[in-house]
Structure 1
Amino acid sequence: MSKDAYQNVYSFTHKSIDGDEIPMETYKGNVIVAVNLEALDRQYRDKGLKILAFPCNQFGGQEPGSDAEIKKFASKFNVKFQLFSKIDVNGSSADPMWEYMKSQKSGIFGLKSIKWNFTKFLIDRDGKVVKRFGPKDDPNSMVPDIEKYL
């Protein structure tokens, strides 16, 4: 299916780090940040924010481990948000949901591709991509936008 045919992120299904297929529709009605942000998760979880982490090893080999190794590492930090199986976000093997999100909100200089780990997408309660944050954007700088959609 063409990325232009998708209406929102709820059209997608992803494999969790435990191997379970999770329809993104599971998160319908919540505001979603697709990245790894434990502090924001703790602060806004009860208000309807869901952090969805998608490990990717396309940037300097920063996620070389298996799903089991990534899960074990995350457990050391008492991560409570949803971890998904490792994906690619760029190139011919890029995950379809990430292709869709990139098509909805461009990065710096209007570029669609993900330039580095920790690019973040904010998704409203209707599954629409409403904002893209760069890898260097501090999580605290995201708070006004997150609160706007909660």
Structure 2
Amino acid sequence: MSLYDIELKTIKGEKQTLAPYKGQVLLIVNTATKCGFAPQFKGLQKLHDHYKEQGFAVLGFPSGQFMNQELEDNAEIAESCELNFGVNFPLYEKIDVNGDTAHPLFQKLKKDARGVLGSKRIKWNFTKFLVDKEGKVVKRFGPNVTPEKIDNEIQTLLGQH
């Protein structure tokens, strides 16, 4: 199954797929507004703003699987992201990223780009998956890799290097 065929729901509950992003470079991130890594929202927004006209998007997927560091309500999550971090990149409904209830998108991302020592499991919030214009998952970045450190790889996939 293609990344573009997987059904999703936006943070507002609207059903969609990633098909509108075909031909774009994507950075897909599992987020949490109460996490110590939450300041990365600002860096993610900066990347989104800087490259969106060139065919790039950051997509945020809130998850409360790591010490419940995400709000319960999708509307509250959206409000917190916007008010506290200035986020206007696309956010999707709160999902699970690990275990039997992991969203199919994250099942595919984890299968296509394994973590340290070949593990599939996502270890923490703000794990990032870089996807090329053809929908291929090219790399996984751990939570400690700040958005700024991914800049060169985004430029390469956009054909700027």
Fold shared, TM-score > 0.5 on shorter chain? yes
Match for residue 10 of structure 1?
Answer: 4
| 2:145 maps to 1:133 | no
Shift of 1:48: 1.0
| 2:42 maps to 1:48 | no
Q: Secondary structure at the match of 1:69?
A: helix
Match for residue 125 of structure 2?
Answer: 117
| 2:4 maps to 1:31 | no
Alpha-carbon separation, structure 2, partners of 1:82 and 1:74: 11
Question: What is the aligned length?
Answer: 144
Structure 1 residue ranges without an equivalent (≥5): 1-5
State the Cα RMSD in Å. Answer: 1.1
Identity %: 42
| 2:101 maps to 1:93 | yes
How big is each residue's C-alpha offset from its partner over 1:71-107, in whole Å with a ceiling of 9 and x where there is no partner? 1112213322100000000000000110011001110
Shift of 1:138: 1.6
Alpha-carbon separation, structure 1, partners of 2:123 and 2:65: 10
Match for residue 68 of structure 2?
Answer: 61
How big is each residue's C-alpha offset from its partner over 1:92-128, in whole Å with a ceiling of 9 and x where there is no partner? 0000110011001110111110000000000011111
Alpha-carbon separation, structure 2, partners of 1:146 and 1:13: 25
Match for residue 155 of structure 2?
Answer: 147
Structure 2 residue ranges without an equivalent (≥5): 30-40
Q: Secondary structure at the match of 2:71?
A: coil
Shift of 1:64: 2.8
Alpha-carbon separation, structure 2, partners of 1:105 and 1:31: 16
Q: TM-score, normalised by structure 1?
A: 0.92
Distance 1:55 1:146, change over 3 A: same
Match for residue 112 of structure 2?
Answer: 104
Q: Secondary structure at the match of 1:52?
A: strand
Letter in structure 2 aligned against 1:55? P
Shift of 1:65: 2.7
Q: Secondary structure at the match of 2:46?
A: helix
Shift of 1:61: 1.0
Shift of 1:34: 0.4
